[in-house]
Chain A
Amino acid sequence: MKLSKIGLSLFTGAALLAASAQPAFAGEQKTKPILGIPKSALDDFGGAAGVHAWVESLFYYIMLDNRISHIFREFGNVERQIALNTQLEQMVLGGAVEYQGASMSAAHADLGITMTQFNAVVEAAYNACERNNVPYKTCNHLIAALAPFTRVIVTR
């Protein structure tokens, strides 16, 4: 009986530990836009290569924007973020890709990101679509798929 109690507390302790460590390892789930994401969305984006090119353009525009570039210079790791965003964006567009980074809440929790800064990234996203000749409508499927992350990314 005593043993089983110890076992139980050990078990709950381990579970708690796992839970507290979760944000760093749990990765991120696909979002669920109410109107869905069309099956062709990833192809329309140019597949994996298209998404990668888009993310590179995204960071090009982010780093040109004085309102936000300093945040990425100070706290970011652009190379890592390009790689991870390429995974994440493919995943939310319905690609069979595993996202290996931190959850959106864990990655942004300490940054104190404002709505204004978030919108600046969205503007960079549209600029990247235009630069890469991704049609506006296709671009909006990605925006719809990423939009729900606003809740956890914007903390101020």
Chain B
Amino acid sequence: MNGSQGSKLRLWSCAAILGAAAAMHSGLASAGYNDGKVFLTGGVFTVDGAGGGGAVPWATITGYETRDGINGGVGYTYANLPALQLNVFGGAIGFYDRFELSYATHKLSLNLSNLDTVALVAEAAGLDLGTDPWNSTLQMDVYGAKLRLFGDAVYTSDSWIPQVAIGGLYKENTTKELIRTLGANKAKDWEAYVAATKVFFPLSTLVNFTVRYTSANEIGLTGFGECSASGCTNDKEFRFEASVAHLLSKNTAIGFEYQQHGGNLDGKSVTVAGLPLTGLTDLLGGVLGGVEDALTQEKESDWMDVFFAYAPNKNLSFVIAYLMLGNISVAQDQNGFYMSMHATF
């Protein structure tokens, strides 16, 4: 397993981000340090690590720096859904309100009794599915970069031209066996996106549209592409995302987000060591009725959420959201709460 290598890399990136943040804070880099941006206009901490909303990266550059300097922060997000809990830790640095580097690491715990049953049987049969009889955990690291191309999201109130940025994300899922079990093709892949953001002051509202070029299943948490009897594919496609944030006051916003998802794993049975589950269902047939049904993955839903964001000051912001993620893998109706904190330096 390359787990130790992966975790070393993670440790390093965490250390690097914390180190950079501490350096900025202590004024070591005082020549470059800057926190002159207006409240909340750098966005908060997305699950991809990039600056933006909760799931959707924006064209704004992370942190409170203006074009005069450097800023950044660290974020932590927790989402609690009926069948899974997601923990995301990461950080991002914005350079001169122009360029952004980000990192996020995901731990997704699944508590799916049907998957656990498979794991039990598989363990008894001596197969490694990447699942654990009691709790399967998916892990993913996300490295990101974003470049602002043109426009000013905030001050060009006399023009329809938004701020536009392009970004790239490299996602590395370190739980390959589980990805295979769920029928995905690849555990590592890249994504690219174009985002356009604009603040409409007369409406006290920020609007963002993003188009992402990706083949991800559940943002990569369940891998990329798909494999079936006829072979494996990893076809990237353009998917649409949007955020609307209405500011109630200069440091408080409410809004909603939408993120289109693909259907790579729709209707796929959970596979065991590359074999479709049929063999295993026979094995289990006597124990449980309709196991195959229970192990057929649902149609992947688009993600939606409504959120409330509050920044008591420029060093801290909190987001509370209600997520409506619909079907995730073999689980339906994954709606639940989301809490995110973003500390900026």
> How far is B204's CA from A36's CA once the two chains are assembled, in angstroms?
13
**Is A34 a contact of B158 with CB atoms below 8 Å?**
yes
Identify the interface centre among B37, B38, B248: most chain A CB within 10 Å of its CB: B38
**Is A122 a contact of B38 with CB atoms below 8 Å?**
yes
> Would you list which residues of chain B between 126 and 161 have a CB under 8 Å from chain A?
152, 154-160
Contact with B along A98-117 (1 / 0, CB 8 A): 00000000000000001111
* Shortest CB distance A23–B (Å): 20
Partner of A35, one of B36, B202, B247: B202
**Is A115 a contact of B66 with CB atoms below 8 Å?**
yes
User: Given A136-B250, A147-B154, A150-B155: A115 and B36 within 8 A (CB)?
Assistant: yes
**Is B66 a contact of A119 with CB atoms below 8 Å?**
yes
Cβ of B288 under 8 Å from chain A = no
Residues of chain B lying within 8 A (CB to CB) of residue A156: 68
* Shortest CB distance B94–A (Å): 13
Partner of A119, one of B36, B158, B160: B36
Residues of chain B lying within 8 A (CB to CB) of residue A115: 36, 66-68, 97
Residues of chain B lying within 8 A (CB to CB) of residue A48: none
Residues of chain A lying within 8 A (CB to CB) of residue B34: 116
> Would you list which residues of chain A between 86 and 139 have a CB under 8 Å from chain B?
114-117, 119-120, 122-123, 126, 136-137
> Would you list which residues of chain A between 17 and 32 have a CB under 8 Å from chain B?
31-32
Residues of chain B lying within 8 A (CB to CB) of residue A114: 36, 66, 68
**Is B247 a contact of A136 with CB atoms below 8 Å?**
yes
> How far is B248's CA from A33's CA once the two chains are assembled, in angstroms?
21
Residues of chain A lying within 8 A (CB to CB) of residue B159: 34
* Shortest CB distance A139–B (Å): 8
Contact with A along B282-294 (1 / 0, CB 8 A): 0000000000000
Identify the interface centre among B152, B202, B250: most chain A CB within 10 Å of its CB: B202
> How far is B210's CA from A15's CA once the two chains are assembled, in angstroms?
50
**Is B157 a contact of A34 with CB atoms below 8 Å?**
yes
Cβ of B5 under 8 Å from chain A = no
Residues of chain B lying within 8 A (CB to CB) of residue A147: 154-158, 201
Counting chain B residues whose Cβ lies within 8 A of the other chain, the interface size class is: 20 to 34
**Is A144 a contact of B38 with CB atoms below 8 Å?**
no
Cβ of B308 under 8 Å from chain A = no
Residues of chain A lying within 8 A (CB to CB) of residue B160: 34
Residues of chain A lying within 8 A (CB to CB) of residue B250: 126, 136
> How far is B203's CA from A136's CA once the two chains are assembled, in angstroms?
11
> How far is B37's CA from A119's CA once the two chains are assembled, in angstroms?
6
Cβ of B2 under 8 Å from chain A = no
Partner of B202, one of A116, A119, A141: A141
Counting chain A residues whose Cβ lies within 8 A of the other chain, the interface size class is: 20 to 34
* Shortest CB distance B35–A (Å): 8
**Is A144 a contact of B248 with CB atoms below 8 Å?**
no
* Shortest CB distance A27–B (Å): 18
* Shortest CB distance B191–A (Å): 31
User: Given A123-B38, A136-B248: A35 and B156 within 8 A (CB)?
Assistant: no
**Is B158 a contact of A140 with CB atoms below 8 Å?**
no
* Shortest CB distance B27–A (Å): 15
Identify the interface centre among A38, A117, A137, A145: most chain B CB within 10 Å of its CB: A137
Cβ of B230 under 8 Å from chain A = no
Residues of chain A lying within 8 A (CB to CB) of residue B202: 33, 35-38, 140-141, 144
Partner of A32, one of B38, B158, B247: B158
* Shortest CB distance B209–A (Å): 17
> How far is B201's CA from A143's CA once the two chains are assembled, in angstroms?
7
> How far is B69's CA from A70's CA once the two chains are assembled, in angstroms?
21
Contact with A along B189-213 (1 / 0, CB 8 A): 0000000000011111000000000
> How far is B155's CA from A114's CA once the two chains are assembled, in angstroms?
14
Residues of chain B lying within 8 A (CB to CB) of residue A37: 202
> How far is B159's CA from A38's CA once the two chains are assembled, in angstroms?
17
Cβ of B4 under 8 Å from chain A = no
- Starting from the known contacts A115-B68, A119-B37, 6 additional A-B residue pairs (CB-CB under 8 Å) come to A33-B158, A34-B157, A119-B38, A126-B250, A141-B201, A147-B155
Q: Which 10 A-B pairs have the closest CB atoms?
A: A116-B36, A144-B201, A115-B66, A150-B155, A147-B157, A35-B202, A140-B201, A144-B157, A147-B155, A148-B158
Q: List 29 A-B contacts (CB under 8 A).
A: A31-B158, A33-B157, A33-B158, A33-B202, A34-B159, A35-B157, A35-B202, A35-B203, A38-B202, A114-B36, A115-B36, A116-B69, A119-B36, A119-B37, A120-B36, A123-B38, A137-B204, A140-B201, A140-B202, A144-B202, A145-B157, A147-B154, A147-B157, A147-B158, A148-B155, A148-B156, A148-B157, A150-B155, A156-B68
